[in-house]
Amino acid sequence: VQLQAFGGGSVQAGDSLRLSCTVSGGTFSSYALGWFRQTPGKAREFVAAIRWTGDRTYYDNSVKGRFTISRDDAENTAFLQMNNLKPDDTAAYYCAAGIAFDYSDSTYDYWGQGTQVTVSS
């Protein structure tokens, strides 16, 4: 199973970005999908997750109301719509796939490479 994340960039505070994560191999519809982020010197942190059925989502409080996770099983793609971005959102963002719908990165089996998001004030 391979994941590829893209869509990062450099934006101003208040702007929006949409990250995408394509998944190849495996059975996409059976995976829970998660987004995590990491800044240098810090541990990777949970951002959002979506259940394999797509009917449940979970967000870290820091992004709730601003970010939306979604999935398109026909395209084997997960999305993270990020609105009203803040400088604190600056990080490398990673997508992950696994069986468990969870906020812990240890429960995800497959990871994509990071895509950098930089938000300036």
92, two tokens: 């490398």
pLDDT score, position 63? 98
> Percentage helix, strand, coil, to 5, in the chain?
5, 50, 40
pLDDT score, position 100? 87
- How far apart, in Å, are the Cα atoms of 50 and each of 12, 42, 70, 112? 27, 24, 7, 16
pLDDT score, position 111? 97
pLDDT score, position 30? 93
65, two tokens: 């109301």
pLDDT score, position 26? 87
Instruction: Say how far residue 78 (Cα) sits from the centre of its chain.
Output: 8
pLDDT score, position 109? 95
Interval 19-58: pLDDT, tens: 999 999 889 999 999 999 999 999 999 999 999 999 999 9
- CA–CA dist 34, 104 (Å, integer): 9
Cβ atoms of 3 and 95 within 8 Å: the answer is: yes
Interval 73-102: pLDDT, tens: 999 999 999 999 999 999 999 999 999 888
pLDDT score, position 27? 92
Interval 4-23: pLDDT, tens: 999 999 999 999 999 999 99
